[in-house]
Amino acid sequence: MATEVKVPTLGESVTEASIGELLKNVGDAVAVDEPIVSLETDKVAVEAPSPVAGVITEFKVEVGDTVEVGAVLAVIEEGGAPAAKGEEAGRAAEQREEGKEERAEASAPAASSDASQTLSPAVRRAVLEHGVDPSTIKGTGKDGRLTKEDVIAAAKAKKDGGTIADAAPAQAATPSAPAGERREERVKMTRMRQTIAKRLKGAQDNAALLTTFNDVDMSAVIEARTRYKDLFAKKHDIRLGFMGFFAKAACLALKDVPAVNAYIEGDEIVYHDYVDISVAVSAPNGLVVPVIRDAQDKGFARIEKDIADFGKRAKEGTLTMEDMKGGTFTISNGGVFGSLMSTPIINPPQSAVLGLHRIEDRPVVVDGEIVIRPMMYIALSYDHRLIDGREAVTALKIIKEAIEDPTRMLIDL
């Protein structure tokens, strides 16, 4: 009996997606709920699972296609080998044989290759092209699955004399060109990247963006982390980071300056008596902003666990639409990439975003003397249609004071 695999419901207001990757081949056996197609939506990557156990007889889509919810992705013959006839049977058998040959070639570099490892077509091509053993590469995809970037990074590490196991996935394949030859490569933007581009450009077009800056002496926070990091980790089983401090400091500021935690909807201003902080996280396909719900009621440990979980799931591609829904304020930490200063763009419909940057020792004047302190520039970009300069500067100053004197966060000052 033939069963169609269709595009699942993708979330509220999401009606279509792009085909990111075919995780199986025609002729492959699949189990119930085993992913066979990776879909890219405006915000997240999701996988379409098989509703039955059987053998894939046909794919109705190709990588890069745009599909709507309910569209047919593939056809699966339940139970065993497909009962095809004539030319269709011949094509199916031929495709299955090609799949077997490709898998055999992919595992050829070493006798110890994992024969049960499922490689996508793109990964198999990369394995064959670069001549690496997939069983020696640690996958960074969902459930440890190999990605094309993993293979390219492993090949580069092997070429440079390093070990494949320690190779970090490359951001993009950069084919070597003969000396003097200039090359170009055109790559279609992913649906997520297109959406990011539209939203950021929309923010510039629709909001009256302005940024105010300040600098923060990080000495007190660094001292607190140094003193309590071991006890904190032992009690809460999570590392004490900087984001917890800034999230709690932001909650203080947004409580005192509610306009920074509001947004414009039509001709009305929507105020919130809660703080849902969107945390900008780097994912393989672009920047995503999962939300820490009710941050004003959470302690440092819960906030740090939420952030760590978001980061892990962003890399695995398992964040959901619900994780990124809503948000009243955003924190973006460009400092982890080495940024000294920036003007972050708000995340619509929000009206403000806090930008954090790298910490570096700088000379500052304290009590008339020049001393060296670990300093960080912080920036608050805001929609001037709603937030006045006085309010923006006040909010950023409250954050600065709370970080320089963390006791303020304990006594709500």
Catalytic, 388? Answer yes
Geometric angle at alpha carbon 179, from 176 and 185, rounded to 5° = 45
**Which listed residue (65, 166, 384, 405) is catalytic?**
384
At 394, list the tokens. Answer: 């006040």
How many whole angstroms separate alpha carbon 224 and alpha carbon 241? 11
User: Are 276 and 259 within 8 A, CB to CB?
Assistant: no
The answer to whether 376 and 218 have CB atoms below 8 angstroms apart is: yes
Sequence-distant (6+) residues with CB within 8 A of 380 are 211, 212, 213, 260, 352, 353, 354, 355, 392, 395, 396, 399
Say how far apart CA 376 and CA 400 lie, in whole Å.
Answer: 10
272 an active-site residue?
A: no
Q: Which of 114, 388, 405, 412 is catalytic?
A: 388
Beta strand 352-366 with 281-283 is unpaired
Do the beta carbons of residue 359 and residue 333 sit within 8 Å?
no
Residue whose pair of structure tokens reads 């790298």 in the numeric block: 358
Residue 280 CA to residue 288 CA, distance in Å, equals 6
With beta carbons less than 8 A apart as the criterion, state whether 96 and 81 touch.
Answer: no
**Distance of alpha carbon 303 from alpha carbon 126, whole angstroms:** 39
Active site (catalytic) residues:
384, 388
